[in-house]
Amino acid sequence: MKTIDELLTEGVAGKRVFVRADLNVPLDGGTITDDGRIRAVLPTVKALADAGAKVVIASHLGRPKGAPDPAFSLAPAAARMGELLGTDVAFATDTVGDSARSTVAGLADGQVAVIENLRFNAGETAKDDAERGAFADRLAELADVYVGDGFGAVHRKHASVFDLPARLPHAAGHLIATEVGVLKKLTEDVKRPYVVALGGSKVSDKLAVIDQLLGKADRLLIGGGMVFTFLKAKGYEVGASLLQEDQIPVVQEYIERAEKSGVELVLPVDVVTSTEFPDLKTKAPGHPHTVAADAIPADQLGLDIGPETRKLYASKLADAATVFWNGPMGVFEHPDYAEGTKAVAQALLDSPAFTVVGGGDSAAAVRLLGFDENAFGHISTGGGASLEYLEGKTLPGLAALED
């Protein structure tokens, strides 16, 4: 895989360099609530602009239905990009139309432009190879070189991720090179003990990675909404908690496999519950109760790991040499149910281990709860991509950058 450093050595001055970034930032109306993904691509953008390239940045945002939708415009991301770069960033109001062509044509060496949301075109996400390829052909007309740096999208077989690199000379940007290097530390010659903390709402989202980790990790800590399927699989009552009953047989099998293979599978000993899901907009006080994990009342739903579990999980992380954390331990967006996620984050900071926060809600939680991002070994920009890499899957966006 050619890196951006090799590309810069060859020279990019005067060339149109198409950077497939991940600017899929959360928006409250037109306001960006977390600009982490924009900041993550800045080293690549700055390096190319400083080398005299005409930088054309493209990304998706949200899930529009293959047609323009103002609610998913990249205009706020382009504006924020300009603020962070300290220079004007041009914005094209379409992806491959008149605005994109004229905006790119108007770039001087070292200037930067952002084109509109790629998913405003049905060809970006099309299952049909020909339709996707046709859109990639039109994108290729805007550039001389391709740089892949949207790690959060490399697990998608989309036109700008998979098909476009085949049409242009290509290289991996700084972010992708960093992400792949970190993930190799979690899959090749791992320093032990290797502890994985998994949370999030649905156990079905994590089954494939648990399957792989049962042969690689020394210890698995389970939290979040997914934990109630584990507790149910052990015969506990889980009240009104989130439960995927159809996954119970698989989870039971994994519990048995963990015991046989010597992997320590750690579940909560207590949980924080309430009779209702909290209001995440108003942050109105909830009605939290702490109960034993095997004694959740019928009218209660679990919303966080309890105080004894926080201590337990911190102790299980304290002696680790490598830690991967993906998924919050509870409804971290509400202060009454954020303590479990805080405790795991703090335990990672207190540990001498190489720590990786696996993107998505975990990365959002780190920022929302006020932790110093730089204190962690690495915070990934791609939760789904990280998980699929650990599952051993071939990621289309990475395969496309290989020569």
Pair of tokens at residue 220: 């698995």
Identity (one letter) of the amino acid at 297? P
Residues assigned a catalytic role: 37, 202, 360, 384
CA R_g for the chain = 22
Cis peptide before 297 (omega within 30 of 0): no
Contact 338, 370 (CB under 8 A): no
Torsion of CA 138, 142, 145, 151, to 10 degrees: -70
Q: Which of 216, 232, 319 is nearest to 268 (CA)?
A: 232
Omega within 30 of 0 (cis) for the link into 193: yes
Give the residue carrying structure tokens 């909560």: 268
Q: What whole-number distance in Å separates Cα of residue 240 and Cα of residue 246? A: 16
- For 298-380, where are the E strands, in sequence order? 301-305, 322-326, 354-357, 378-379
How remote is the C-alpha of 95 from its chain's centroid?
24
Among 199, 194, 154, residue whose Cα is nearest residue 365: 199
Rounded Cα–Cα distance for residues 146 and 142 (Å) = 10
Distances (CA, A) of 235 to 228, 238, 251, 295, 323: 11, 9, 12, 11, 29
